[in-house]
Amino acid sequence: MRPTYLEVNLPRLKQNLENIRAHVAPAKVMAVLKANAYGHGIDGVAPYIAPHADYIGVALVEEGIHLREIGIHKPILVMGGTLPEQIPAFIQHNLTLAASSLELLDAAEQAAQSAKTKLKVHLKIDTGMERIGVHDYEAEPFLEKSLSCSHLDIEGIFSHFANSDAPDLVHAKLQLERFSEVLYFYERRSLPRPPIRHMANSGAVLQLPESHFDMVRPGLMFYGVYPGRDVKRTVDVKPALTWHSRVAYSKITQPGRPVSYGSLWQPQSPARIVTIPCGYADGYFRRMTNQAQVIVNGKKYPQVGRICMDQFMVNVGNDDAEAGDEVVLFGDGITAEDLAEWAGTNEYEVMTNISARVPRVFVR
């Protein structure tokens, strides 16, 4: 195994899920496992967490198929955009379709009719994200059409917040108001089984209890990372991930001998520089050059010189550090927020960009 690897604490993920469930009860909880379980490793996370989730959310039909192939039987909603030619895969693998247009709804009805089966569908309403979904002000014909689709099981209806993790919730509350107005369609018809209503992502789970409806969709916070430094932390969650490595090389570098590509940094006095076998091909962003910190033998030190594809260097100064010594890149005091700040991005990109070539070790 590579000396650079991720350690994933599965019981901590379960505890995060239980804490979220207690906070949103009686709403159900959809565990969002897209993007390789936010970088944690889908093959280890899904079998462990699926028994404790009510629903599973993914972005791509391929992600849903993979979950079925590794033995996951829970309902799976594919939340991203889908093309009509992909619909037979939903039927074959018992996946739930996010119907985001009248055209897709028609195509789903025809495909299910041809297959002589029923296809589960959640209707996607765009209340202000402007990504996919039928606009809230054009939703009524869409909902009317859905009621006439005899080969579709209209199991749910949902929308998505654009700014639920912001300190100012004016836009989020406007979206919530728009979604609530769309839902009056079902109240007016007094249906015996109205669809499952869901809208709350991580920010809304934490900050907008009125948006919890029948089900919530925690993504980042399920993995123990809050969506931004300013979000209200109304649920206790803890990171489940630690990114480990080891020193691969150690030497004294003299002044006037720049470190790495571009010669962006050199020591002012003799310093011990250690090489870590991890780089931007592993998801350790090149743009963190001369900003990041790592922990070597329990102490924080600065990363120096341009981060390379497979390696980067750390200045441990006058301290001792030898090949084989323990290094922590994330965890034990280095947070996703830290990496996001150093890289000029957000916590989501930090987590989901950890490369598949970094081995995952699952701790039960």
Catalytic residues: 34, 261
User: To which H or E segment does residue 103 belong?
Assistant: helix 102-115
Sign of CA dihedral 46, 47, 48, 54: positive
Quick one: tokens of 285? 């962003």
Name 153's bridge partners: 120
Number of H helices, E strands in the chain: 11, 18
Residue 222 CA: distances (Å) to CA of 5, 19, 58, 129: 21, 9, 14, 22
Q: Which of 179, 180, 215 is nearest to 197 (CA)?
A: 215
Contact 315, 243 (CB under 8 A): no
Q: Could you give phi then psi for residue 66, rounded to 5 degrees?
A: -60, -40
User: To the nearest 5 percent, what fractions of the chain are helix, strand and coil?
Assistant: 35, 25, 40
Cα–Cα dist 18/76, whole Å: 19
